Amino acid sequence: MAKIKRKRKGFVWLVGAGPGDASLLTLRAKECLKRADVVIYDRLVAPSILSFARPDAELIYAGKEPNGEKTSQAWINETMIAKAREGKKVVRLKNGDPFVFGRGAEEAEALADAGVPFEIVPGVSSAFAVPAYAGIPLTDRRFASSFAVGVGRSAEGENNSVDFRKLADADTVVALMAVGELEKVVAQLVEGGKSPETPAALIEWGATPKQRVAIAQLKDLPSVARSENIRPPAVLVVGEVVKFRDKLAWYERKPLFGKRVLLPCFDTESELASDLEELGAEVVRLPVAKTVRQKNRVRLQKAIDKTLAGIFLESVQTATASFGHMNCHGFGLGATMFSGNGDGEQKSPPPKWNGEGSGLAAGLKLMVEGIGVSNSAPRRLPESFLKAILKEPIHIVAFTSPALVRAFFEAVGHERAEEILESAQIVVAGARAAKFCKQIGLEPSFVLKPHTFGRLAIVPTK
């Protein structure tokens, strides 16, 4: 009897991407991106966040440019519904939180009316995260016990902006999308009772490497914004709490603030990426290679049959490819495992390691890659994926192994790779990667070691 093929059910996640810093992405948001067949993303979504999407996912731009091209809301709704009806899992990725000035309710309503199942994934709102990244608290028991948030104008210029005279009584006032209507917003706040001398801040591209902050008294802020050429997106903060900025500014003081690092990698869950982000860099993960499991496991089984006390794995990728999710005891092995640093520079087992595991006094190091159990293969990344995550200038390209250097050229194409490297500094982790780069005509600016990541701050931008 022939099996009946069930039609795959589509689904939509309305996901908040946060204000820009990829480290503020929620665990749920990251999980949805990794599962999505289609990602429909806004203009303000950072490339470092898009890089968590599956490389084979369809990435669809749905941005609204200030005073420029705008993707209609009707088209966005229709596209979400159509892709879901094709049986695909769809992420609608929105800056900040989808239910805070993000049209999330409109899109959820359209999905509900169409009978498409969906889930709301809240995000960190720019309304409070961007001021925090500028060192400005919204409340403080000495100066502010209330705050109000409004929108200067909608992304499509519709006449539905807030009357800020009604918000002026709050100790702190936050305005999103207010740059185009700044003079009007300031005038309304003063009319509503705010002192013209109230401290005010305008934060451009907050929580990103492009963050800039303009500070002035409320009455002077429009002219200061013009002189400093502050452009959207920007968040306005008005209140005594702005005075904290001088003392509490922290983000711009990180050693790698303003640096965008491209990290060719096997897996987006990279320890090096986390270390660089901790130092203030925006890290764009580029999954240029994948680890392939080989079928000649017979040789590995024979080695294990000798009752090894320990197995030495050259890298985390090797371990994953060799054993996957299996427990070593499934091979009849009580094993102690040691790994290398991912660059092929082996770390020896502890000096007193005596091979305790299956009764042998002497430990045997088995280089699994030497048996040929695992291998790496480059990915050819789709043009839509590359266009989305390489849309911003790259300041530094960091290579962690010779294999990833080769895979980088294969994945993005030689012409594009050369264009990126021509305008970026090259840094490498480990002597082997440095040697290989020099062999193919690339001159690294810096060789990384775990305790020297912070020195990337002195690597000049080309």
Q: Is 34 a catalytic residue?
A: no
300 DSSP assignment: H
Q: Which of the following is catalytic: 21, 30, 64, 97?
A: 64
417 DSSP assignment: H
| Secondary structure of 78-131 as H, E, C letters | HHHHHHHHCCCEEEEEECECCCCCCCHHHHHHHHHHHCCCEEEECCCCHHHHHH
Q: Which of the following is catalytic: 21, 30, 37, 42?
A: 42
Of the candidates 46, 206, 62, the one whose C-alpha atom is nearest the C-alpha of residue 126 is 206
Name the 3-class secondary structure at 324: coil
Angle subtended by helix axes 414-422 and 402-412, to nearest 10? 110
Name the 3-class secondary structure at 449: coil
Q: How far is CA 275 from CA 256, 261, 325, 342, 450, in A?
A: 11, 12, 26, 15, 9
Amino acid identity for residue 99 in this structure:
F
Q: How far is CA 53 from CA 93, 283, 356, 388, in A?
A: 11, 14, 42, 11
Of the candidates 317, 319, 361, 357, the one whose C-alpha atom is nearest the C-alpha of residue 338 is 319
Q: Is 56 a catalytic residue?
A: no
Name the 3-class secondary structure at 305: helix
Could you list the active site residues? 42, 64
